[in-house]
Amino acid sequence: MNDAIKHGEVEVNGVRLHYAEQGEGPLVLLLHGFPESWYSWRHQFAPLAEAGYRVVAPDQRGYARSAQPEPVDAYTLLHLVGDVTALIGALGEERAVVVGHDWGAPVAWTTAALRPDLVRGVAGLSVPPLPVGGPPPLQALRAAYGEGFYQVYFQEPGKADAELAADVKSSLRRILSGKQPDGVPRPWIVPEGRTLLESLPEPDRLPDWLTDADLDVFTADYARHGANAFTGGLNWYRNLDRSAELLAAFTGITVEVPALFVVGEEDLVNALVPPPVLDHLLGRLPKLHRHVRLPETGHWTQQERPAEVTEALLDFLAHLDK
């Protein structure tokens, strides 16, 4: 088996996607979130490949080395699920285990819900299986957290894009280093009259799990898009209401394949999804294998706790193969 990560490109649904790949065997797709890329899974490639799996991590549409469609409405959840389903076929496979972190988690959950024929199992890191369809969420988010809530702040085309692209490495360093000093997760809210980056001060030092060399890899991939370095990812947020409308026919659908959920105890998502709500959401997973909570872990789950996340994934994969 070739133990090096290989890179390739494939066109799906008219969009060129870059992907990284290692290993041979049953396909495991690893889907990153915002603002990340295939490199977010750097610690998982070798262990999963050595365990006998074909590991593929794409840069999803709009991100890093992949193409960035211009229309804002080209980034709905249905587009993103369509990319995953087409990618499975383009890789010459019939089924896959789909794993997603952050924004990659809703893509993974929704792919499993809508296309269980293609998904052997699904794992979500950080973000639980949110309802598909239902009321448009932006009104509720504004009411709960105000105009400064980051997902609302991202809605104005060009605004957050310009702030983040002005210094790509600094923006990535601030976001990836962001964690409350007391470990208590809180929503990301931009105070009135301040910019996005003013709400995220430059860290005194990088967290132990992130090196300057890691930042250089992320930065080089994002900088390919110039002034639109972050626009593709931001456009995912700009389709929150549109995606809910398009998926209305599937409201109430459950995920009928084996599932795994992993979350850090200090993840900001915990501030948005209190325990009673989380229990209700996990009820959408009738075949839930495990719910793993990682202590002293923030939002960047598979990067902060690579050994624990990889162990949970290998246990889940072994369960599927029995």
Q: How far is CA 157 from CA 154, 236, 246, 254, in A?
A: 7, 12, 21, 33
Number of domains into which the chain is organized: 1
CATH code: domain of residue 49: 3.40.50.1820
Amino acid at 252: G
State how far the alpha carbon of 116 is from the alpha carbons of 95, 112, 185, in Å: 9, 5, 33
Task: Judge whether 1 lies within some domain.
Answer: no
Q: What 3-state class would DSSP assign to 284?
A: coil
- How far is Cα of residue 319 from the mean position of the Cα atoms in its chain? 24
Which helix (H) or strand (E) segment holds residue 196: the answer is none
Tell me which DSSP letter residue 183 carries. Answer: -
Mean pLDDT estimate for the chain = 95
186 Cβ neighbours under 8 A, 6+ residues apart: 180, 268, 271
Q: Is residue 293 part of a domain?
A: yes
* pTM beyond cutoff 0.75: yes
Distances (CA, A) of 16 to 64, 73, 95, 118, 223: 12, 17, 21, 21, 17
Q: Which amino acid is at 225?
A: H
CA distance 226 to 5: 26
Task: Report if residue 43 sits inside a domain.
Answer: yes
Inside any domain, residue 119 = yes
Task: Tell me whether residue 72 is in a domain.
Answer: yes
In a domain, 255, yes or no: yes
The answer for residues whose C-beta is within 8 angstroms of residue 268's C-beta and 6 or more apart is: 185, 186, 187, 188, 298, 299
Place of tokens 């369960």: 319
Question: Using only C-alpha atoms, what is the Rg of the chain?
Answer: 18
Angle at 293 between CA 230 and CA 100, to 5 degrees: 35
Distance CA 127, CA 151 (A): 14
> Using CA atoms, how far apart are residues 263 and 185, in angstroms rounded to an integer?
12
- Helix-helix angle 77-90:104-114, to 10 degrees: 70
E strand spans, the chain: 6-12, 15-22, 27-31, 54-58, 96-101, 119-125, 259-264, 288-294
- Find how far residue 92's CA is from the centre of its chain: 24
Q: Tokens 């239902």 identify what position?
A: 134
List active site positions: 102, 299
Instruction: State how far the alpha carbon of 60 is from the alpha carbons of 83, 84, 240, 310, in Å.
Output: 8, 9, 17, 21
Residue 12 lies in domain: 6-321
- List the chain pLDDT tens, one digit each, 322 residues: 457 999 999 999 999 999 999 999 999 999 999 999 999 999 999 999 999 999 999 999 999 999 999 999 999 999 999 999 999 999 999 999 999 999 999 999 999 999 999 999 999 999 999 999 888 999 999 999 999 999 999 999 999 999 999 999 999 999 998 765 556 778 889 999 999 988 888 888 999 999 999 999 999 999 999 999 999 999 999 999 999 999 999 999 999 999 999 999 999 998 899 899 999 999 999 999 999 999 999 999 999 999 999 999 999 999 997 6
pLDDT at 1: 40
